[in-house]
């Protein structure tokens, strides 16, 4: 009689995050939702959000974590979990407290570094929390190879415990809407990291070549007032619209009538919106600092800060419809492989190794 292989162990995972739908201010909440749904199809997962009102995860400071209410909440609600899966620095103190108390392991999932978000203005206290968490974690998952390399170098991590698991995308039934004017799209938080100020400069250069072109600057953030003033100064208020943060259905309608996505970020650990655009057949021109290029080779890369380079690449796509459509179709096919189920499989593979190494 032959032995049947044992089914894979399905660990009980407690997923910690400070952002989750319907409260979404950036890619973190969208990613956590996609990961949680996919994990739930393959194992037992419990999402633990702070019960008390918390600040925007991109704006909070280390002082916001001084109260250990969230850690106490996690200790109670994750009492039966096999391991913790903690997303970004805001959740690391609670994960470390749970691990010390329970003796069980935890994984840190790094969507961005404080240095990525703030550059030279990085807050030392936040970096200290980030460093302590990443060094304490039994495994570190990053969203791109670029982020893995930066985290390993910045915090002197053991490369053996750092694992790359790319983000995924929810499948949609895309459509296209014909428009009279070509549209170039920017989607992201209006912060230094995402370089919306560079997008305004890029738009001005493109408009000088193609007066019919229009531009959408989608998102909210501390640079909004500065950007509106610069757009007015350039006389481009009629060409650049700023609709603010858009819910998924509204963003999809905008993607359906856009020709090119521009992702000029100074630092972009992943860049989920490029996959969202790809599903609609919209090609992307992205910064060389964007991790999404690792799963979307059809994207056109330009060095971050190269305004002329971005404008030239985008103008070339606007001027050459057949080439733009070919790149868009390549992007669509590539994005179809980047599913949250594949992401969940990668996370579960790391989780099982962690538990095996720690007596699970």
Question: The CATH number of the domain where 67 resides is what?
Answer: 3.40.50.2000
Q: Which residues span the domain enclosing 213? A: 183-335
In the predicted structure, residue 71 carries a pLDDT above the cut 70: yes
Provide the β-strand partners of residue 86: 16, 108
Residue 178 lies in a domain: no
DSSP designation for 196:
H
Across the chain, the runs of DSSP E, i.e. the strands, are: 12-16, 44-48, 83-87, 106-110, 139-142, 162-164, 183-187, 214-218, 240-244, 260-263, 284-287, 300-302
Q: Which two tokens stand for residue 229?
A: 């003033």
In the predicted structure, residue 237 carries a pLDDT above the cut 50: yes
Q: Do 134 and 231 sit in the same domain of this protein?
A: no
Q: Do 108 and 213 sit in the same domain of this protein?
A: no
Residue 5 lies in a domain: no
Position 207 scores a pLDDT of 97
Neighbours of 76 (CB within 10 A): 9
Residue 1 lies in a domain: no
Position 113 scores a pLDDT of 95
In the chain, what percentage of residues exceed pLDDT 90? 81
Task: State pLDDT tens for residues 259-291.
Answer: 999 999 999 999 999 999 999 999 999 999 999
Helix axes 92-102, 124-136, angle to 10 degrees: 30
In the predicted structure, residue 97 carries a pLDDT above the cut 70: yes
Q: Do 239 and 147 sit in the same domain of this protein?
A: no
pTM, rounded to two decimals: 0.91
In the predicted structure, residue 69 carries a pLDDT above the cut 90: no
Q: Which two tokens stand for residue 331?
A: 């992007």
DSSP for 106-135, please give it: EEEEES--HHHHHGGG--HHHHHHHHHHHH
Position 162 scores a pLDDT of 98
Q: Which two tokens stand for residue 306?
A: 């190269």
Task: State pLDDT tens for residues 308-333.
Answer: 999 999 999 999 999 999 999 999 99
3-class state of residue 140 by DSSP: strand
Can you tell me which residue has the tokens 């691990």? 99
In the predicted structure, residue 55 carries a pLDDT above the cut 60: no
Q: 66 pLDDT band (50/70/90 cuts)?
A: very low
Q: Do 206 and 299 sit in the same domain of this protein?
A: yes
Q: What is the mean pLDDT of residues 222-242?
A: 97
Q: Which residues contact 53 (CB under 8 A, 6 or more apart)?
A: none
- Ranking 69-78, 240-249, 287-296 by mean pLDDT, the lowest is 69-78
Q: Do 51 and 107 sit in the same domain of this protein?
A: yes
Position 1 scores a pLDDT of 43
Position 22 scores a pLDDT of 83
Tell me whether strands 300-302 and 284-287 are parallel, antiparallel or unpaired: parallel
Measured distance CA(137)–CA(141) in Å, rounded: 10
Q: Do 114 and 126 sit in the same domain of this protein?
A: yes
């Amino acid at each position: 009689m032959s032995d049947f292989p044992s089914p894979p162990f399905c660990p009980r995972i407690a997923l910690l995050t400070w952002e989750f739908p319907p409260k979404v201010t950036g890619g973190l909440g969208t990613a956590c939702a996609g990961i949680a749904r996919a994990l739930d199809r393959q194992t037992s997962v419990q999402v633990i959000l702070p019960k008390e009102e918390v600040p925007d995860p991109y704006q909070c400071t280390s002082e916001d974590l001084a109260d250990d209410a969230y850690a106490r909440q996690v200790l109670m609600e994750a009492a039966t979990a096999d391991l913790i899966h903690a997303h970004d620095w805001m959740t690391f103190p609670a994960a470390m407290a749970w691990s010390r108390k329970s003796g069980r392991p935890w994984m840190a999932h790094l969507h961005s570094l404080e240095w990525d978000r703030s550059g030279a203005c990085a807050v030392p206290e936040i970096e200290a929390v980030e460093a302590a968490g990443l060094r304490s974690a039994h495994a570190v998952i990053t969203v791109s190879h670029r982020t893995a390399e930066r985290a390993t170098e910045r915090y002197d991590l053991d490369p053996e415990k750092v694992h790359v698991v790319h983000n995924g995308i929810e499948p949609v039934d895309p459509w296209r809407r014909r428009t009279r004017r070509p549209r170039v799209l920017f989607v992201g938080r209006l912060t230094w990291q995402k370089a919306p100020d560079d997008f305004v400069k890029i738009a001005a250069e493109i408009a000088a070549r193609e007066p019919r072109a229009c531009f959408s600057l989608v998102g909210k953030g501390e640079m909004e007032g500065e950007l509106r003033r610069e757009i007015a100064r350039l006389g481009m208020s009629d060409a650049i619209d700023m609709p603010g943060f858009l819910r998924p259905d509204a963003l999809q309608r905008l993607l359906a009538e856009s020709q090119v996505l521009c992702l000029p970020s100074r630092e972009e650990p992943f860049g989920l919106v490029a996959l969202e655009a790809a599903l609609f057949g919209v090609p992307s021109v992205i910064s060389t600092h964007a991790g999404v290029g690792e799963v979307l080779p059809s994207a056109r890369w330009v060095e971050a800060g190269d305004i002329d380079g971005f404008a030239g690449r985008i103008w070339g796509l606007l001027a050459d419809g057949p080439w733009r459509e070919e790149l868009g179709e390549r992007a669509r096919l590539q994005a179809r492989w980047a599913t949250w189920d594949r992401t969940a499989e990668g996370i579960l593979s790391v989780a099982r190794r962690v538990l095996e190494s720690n007596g699970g």
